Amino acid sequence: MITPMKKVTVLCLDALKDESLEALRSMGIMHVLPLQTPKGNDYLAAKTAVQRVRKALDSLPEKVSKEAKPLSEDGETLVTQIHSLILKRKSAEDSIQQMTLEIKKFSAFQNLSPVQIQNLEAKGVCIRLYEAHKGHSPNPDGAAIVKDFGKGANGHSFAVINYNTTPVAVTDATDMGLPSASLVDLRKKLEKTKKELIRCENALSTIAAERAKVQETLACTTDEFNLKEASSGMIEGAGVSLIQGYCPTPRLEELQKTAPKFGWGLKIEDPKADDDVPTLLKEKKSVSSIQFLYDIIGITPGYREVDTSAVFLLFFSIFFAMIVGDTAYGILFLGLTLFARKKFPKAKPQGFWFMEIMSVATIAWGLINDSFLGFNPAFLDFAQMSWTPEFLKKALLWIRISANLQLFCFCIAITHLSIAHLWNFTVKLRQKSTTAIAQIGWLCTTWVMFFLAGFMVLNRPLPSFTIPLFVVGAVLLLLFRVPPSRLKEDWISIPMLVLDLVSNFVDVVSYIRLFAVGMSGAAIAAAFNGMLSPLFGSFWGILAAALILFFVHALNIALGVMGVAVHAVRLNTLEFSNHMELQWSGYNFTPLSKHKSN
């Protein structure tokens, strides 16, 4: 559930401002709102420090040098070294680019030396280098020798030589100037600069082994910036400073107990309707793993929206299992998750819990369909085991029929979307809103769309009550969709009802993607198993088939994960959320707090 918040204003003496901020930070209890635009030298210096360390961290390569040894330098020293290396690398890259272009530009002149040309000019022999398009050559205005050096970077290269203290004027060609050094020297310098660039990259790879120190430095500088930002955002006057923010209601007592120690004055009030309140999801181990997914896709329910984490997690695990759909893949995911949990014991557990749930769901769905790497092994088929109850055998065999599996997808759709409208009904009923009745209308029309999808896709007969049910739903929507107080502003939603009903049908049919994507993966695996089965008769044949199947299943897993990222996420964040009227308009509760090093 979403933790209720209180809007809190803290008044403290100017003399105790720093101590008060430090106390609030140590409690990690208050999401601070700036009462004025943060500014000042201290704030800007802290902001620059964070940007400096973050740039250093982002510049470290992912690959760590194999020869890297532990470094004794602290994080701040490493940041300084990284920035020095960044400048050297940038200088080397610019020099390499410039010299490469220069060598390419004058390559037709072979070992040209600008010093020799300048010496000849001092003796009365003027030489100028030109470039002309194909079919053209320099046209000197006076006595001169034109020497063609062949094709250059952007055309033909020429040298125009005249005996005088000044060069002759030339048309139909572009003056190329002179290189900064002889081409021999430029090539030597280029190789030297490339080696310098490699040394910079190697040095950064060595420092990358100490990434944790740089991350710790970033955390510390971020702490300092947050403190300066909060301080700069306070209002001061008459010897008193004010800081404002949001505090979770369950922790309000901590704030009230601390206030007398620092002589704080507290103003506690309920957030107003137009306040942009942060969202804090109450931690429940059973559903907290969904926060891992929320963070990946970057969504957070708004403070005044409902927390659908339990429903989201339940249906996402079903979607994940149906799309990936193979027992062996689920076992692989579970094994990798358990390995990662052991390898990284200090990592946040939510991601491990999430993947364990998804893996178990995939294994279960694979067993239901008797699918193991595209094969249908009898020893895993519960429908063929003597101890399996008869009703379960029939259910397993029923769902393996293509048409029944499509119907099952529509059943998931109507269940998922019905939960949304029933939930919305209870929420609006508590709010004493007449639009609660419209949710019953949506529920009726959604069921009609379920029957219609079965009729159009699976040739299932429409129930006799389909049309009356649709009429009841449509009437309820026409009468109660818009509150009377907003009828003048939102009247357009009434004629738009036709399009919304069509969209409702599309939403129900959209769940058929679970069948399509899941079956495509199984079909790919089965097809390759069939094509390669003739190779299973010899050792080398088995080896070749195994190698091919390895890449096929790797591709299948990748496509499955992509399918989850597109379809499973969409069905929750679009279809379900639209019916739930969930906008995901929130942002996370981020209290003023201090980084805790491990």
φ/ψ (deg, to 5) at 346: -90, -5
What's the pLDDT score for residue 364? 95
Using CB atoms within 10 Å of the CB of residue 585, give its burial: 0 to 12 exposed, 13 to 18 middle, 19+ buried: middle
Give the whole-angstrom CA distance, residue 512 versus residue 491.
34
pLDDT tens-digit series, residues 427-443: 999 988 888 999 999 99
**CA neighbor of 154 nearest in space, from 175, 132, 173, 177:** 132
Kindly report the three-state secondary structure assignment for every residue of 18-49: HHHHHHHHHHCCCEEECCCCCCCHHHHHHHHH
Q: What residues contact 530, with CB distance under 8 A and at least 6 apart?
A: none
What's the pLDDT score for residue 598? 46
What's the pLDDT score for residue 246? 95
Query: Which amino acid makes up residue 14?
Result: D
Longest dimension (CA), the chain: 109
Residue linked to tokens 């900064």: 180
Domain ranges of the chain: 1-35+233-278, 37-105+183-231, 113-178, 290-426+515-580
Give the whole-angstrom CA distance, residue 138 versus residue 494.
77
Q: What residues contact 571, with CB distance under 8 A and at least 6 apart?
A: 315, 319, 416, 510, 511, 513, 514
Q: Would you report the helix, strand and coil content of the chain in percent, each value rounded to 5?
A: 60, 10, 30
Task: Report DSSP letters for 514-583, one per residue.
Answer: HHHHHHHHHHHHHHHHHHHGGGGGSHHHHHHHHHHHHHHHHHHHHHHHHHIIIIIHHIIIIIIHHHHT--
What's the pLDDT score for residue 340? 93
What's the pLDDT score for residue 526? 82
What's the pLDDT score for residue 450? 96
SS3 (DSSP) at 170: strand
SS3 (DSSP) at 271: coil
Give the whole-angstrom CA distance, residue 502 versus residue 508.
10
Give the whole-angstrom CA distance, residue 560 versus residue 518.
8
End-to-end Cα spacing for the chain: 29
1-35+233-278 to CATH, choices 1.10.10.60, 3.30.70.120, 3.40.50.11270, 2.60.40.10 = 3.30.70.120
Spatial contact of 160 and 145, defined as CB atoms under 8 Å apart: yes
Give the whole-angstrom CA distance, residue 396 versus residue 385.
12
Spatial contact of 440 and 491, defined as CB atoms under 8 Å apart: no
Using CB atoms within 10 Å of the CB of residue 136, give its burial: 0 to 12 exposed, 13 to 18 middle, 19+ buried: middle
Q: Which helix (H) or strand (E) holds 165?
A: none
pLDDT tens-digit series, residues 102-117: 888 888 888 888 888 8
- Quickly count: other Cβ atoms within 10 Å of residue 105's Cβ: 18
- Quickly count: other Cβ atoms within 10 Å of residue 270's Cβ: 11
**How far is CA 453 from each of CA 190, 207, 404, 471, rounded to the nearest angstrom?**
68, 60, 13, 18
**How far is CA 24 from each of CA 21, 230, 306, rounded to the nearest angstrom?**
5, 11, 29
Residue linked to tokens 């389909």: 466
What's the pLDDT score for residue 341? 92
Q: Which region, left, alpha or beta, applies to residue 459 given φ > 0 means left and ψ of -120 to 50 means alpha?
A: left
What six digits make up the tokens of 156?
Answer: 């033909």
Give the whole-angstrom CA distance, residue 577 versus residue 326.
28
In sequence order, the β-bridge partners of residue 161 are 127, 145
In sequence order, the β-bridge partners of residue 242 are 11, 235
Give the whole-angstrom CA distance, residue 331 versus residue 322.
15
Task: Tell me the pTM.
Answer: 0.79
**CA neighbor of 129 nearest in space, from 116, 186, 99, 95:** 116
- Quickly count: other Cβ atoms within 10 Å of residue 280's Cβ: 23
**pLDDT values of the chain reduced to their tens digit, one per residue, 598 residues:** 789 999 999 999 988 898 999 999 999 999 999 989 998 899 999 999 999 999 999 999 888 877 767 778 888 999 999 999 999 999 999 999 999 988 888 888 888 888 888 888 888 889 889 888 877 888 888 888 888 888 877 788 888 898 887 888 888 888 888 888 888 899 999 999 999 999 999 899 888 888 889 999 999 999 999 999 999 999 988 889 999 999 999 999 999 999 999 999 999 999 998 899 999 988 676 677 888 899 888 899 999 999 899 999 999 999 999 999 899 999 999 999 999 999 988 888 889 999 999 999 999 999 999 999 888 888 888 888 888 899 999 999 999 999 999 999 999 999 999 999 999 999 999 988 888 999 999 999 999 999 999 999 999 999 999 999 999 999 999 888 887 666 666 667 777 888 889 999 999 999 999 999 988 888 888 888 777 777 767 777 778 877 888 888 888 899 999 999 999 999 999 999 999 999 898 999 999 998 865 4
Length of the chain: 598
